[in-house]
Amino acid sequence: MPELLIEDRGPVRVLTMNRPEKRNALNNALTEALVEGLRAADAADAVNAIVLTGAGPAFSAGADLSEFKDLTAENQPLVERRAQLTMSLHELFSRLTKPVITAINGPALGGGAGLALAGDLALMAESAQLGYPEVKHGIVAAIVMPNLVRQVGRKAAFELLATGRPVGARRALELGMVNRVVPDAELQVEALALAGELAAISRPAMAMTKAHFYQVTELAFGEALALGRDANKRMRAFRK
């Protein structure tokens, strides 16, 4: 079975992680499929928005621990390849021109939590949880940490990282980790509806909005205003 299911719902492409027997744990094959799937969706003319979710009861349990046995000092090339692949996946979201909605259908832990927060928007099922348990396994949530710290307050982020305790959907909403909490049975419908709303927006306007948003978050106020001035001038080229 393919690690990633791909389905188009009109202008919305749905990417479904498809390792339900492993709680959609991120092995190399699934991670590579996600990178390729996201890039392909961004390049597809008929696609204007993307929904990412998981098959079965979990969104993603994070890194596939069964592959960790090979990630040792003696296999440094494998260690470096895995780290680079994981980084490539997480940095890709902000570089896509099309909006990505994560539909968090169940537990999202470690790298899975990082993936859930990597989307531009996140919808979370009432029964789902988010957590960063890496510290309990004697490792660090290093690659997913930058995105978490940028989205929640420092104290809350450190508590999540240092204790490894998961939080429920309502607490995740309070912390600003997700946009909405919806009943489990309505998650897919809500995600598709929101994606359809975004897909109806002018593609150049959406692409510039997204690019500008991620640039602004990293700039000083004055630099952000200057960037906005330049974007304002460019917008005249695609206004209807």
- Catalytic residue of the set 134, 159, 186, 223: 134
| Span 35-62, pLDDT tens digits | 999 999 999 999 999 999 999 999 999 9
Look up residue 3 and give its two tokens.
């690690």
Is 186 found in the same domain as 94?
yes
CA 211 to chain centre: 16
Is 209 found in the same domain as 171?
no
* Domains identified in the chain, total number: 2
Q: pTM for the full model? A: 0.91
Is 191 found in the same domain as 216?
no
| Span 140-194, pLDDT tens digits | 999 999 999 999 999 999 999 999 999 999 999 999 999 999 999 999 999 999 9
Percent of the chain with pLDDT over 70: 91
| Span 99-119, pLDDT tens digits | 999 999 999 999 999 999 999
Residue 16, beta-bridge partner list: 5, 53
Q: Domain limits at 220?
A: 202-235
Phi and psi torsions of 64, nearest 5°: -75, 105
Look up residue 22 and give its two tokens.
């492993």
Residue 213 within any structural domain of the chain: yes
Q: For the chain, give the number of residues.
A: 240
237 versus 115: the higher-pLDDT residue is: 115
Write down the pLDDT at residue 71.
Answer: 60
Is 64 found in the same domain as 123?
yes
| Span 207-216, pLDDT tens digits | 999 998 998 8
Is 216 found in the same domain as 146?
no
The arithmetic mean of pLDDT across residues 191-200, rounded, is 98
Q: Where are the beta strands (DSSP E) in 55-199?
A: 100-104, 108-109, 121-125, 129-131, 167-168, 180-182
Q: Give the CATH number, domain containing residue 102.
A: 3.90.226.10
Residue 240 within any structural domain of the chain: no
Is 215 found in the same domain as 181?
no
Is 160 found in the same domain as 64?
yes
Q: pLDDT grade, residue 226 (50/70/90)?
A: confident
Is 169 found in the same domain as 73?
yes
Pairwise CA distance, residues 234 & 230, whole Å: 6
Is 134 found in the same domain as 78?
yes
Is 210 found in the same domain as 184?
no
Is 103 found in the same domain as 124?
yes
Rounded alpha-carbon distances, angstroms, from residue 33 to 47, 177, 232: 18, 25, 36
Is 25 found in the same domain as 47?
yes
134 is catalytic: yes
Nearest to 193 by CA among 123, 141, 108, 129: 123
Write down the pLDDT at residue 83.
Answer: 83
Write down the pLDDT at residue 237.
Answer: 58
Whether the pLDDT of residue 68 is over 70: the answer is no
CB 144 within 8 A of CB 110: yes
79 versus 154: the higher-pLDDT residue is: 154
Nearest to 62 by CA among 104, 27, 103: 27
Pairwise CA distance, residues 89 & 119, whole Å: 11
> Residue 235, class by beta-carbon neighbours within 10 Å (0-12 exposed, 13-18 middle, 19+ buried)?
middle
Whether the pLDDT of residue 240 is over 60: the answer is no
Average pLDDT, the chain: 91
Biggest CA pair distance of the chain: 59
Write down the pLDDT at residue 236.
Answer: 62
Q: Is residue 183 classed as helix, strand or coil in its secondary structure?
A: coil
Residue 109, beta-bridge partner list: 131
Write down the pLDDT at residue 41.
Answer: 98
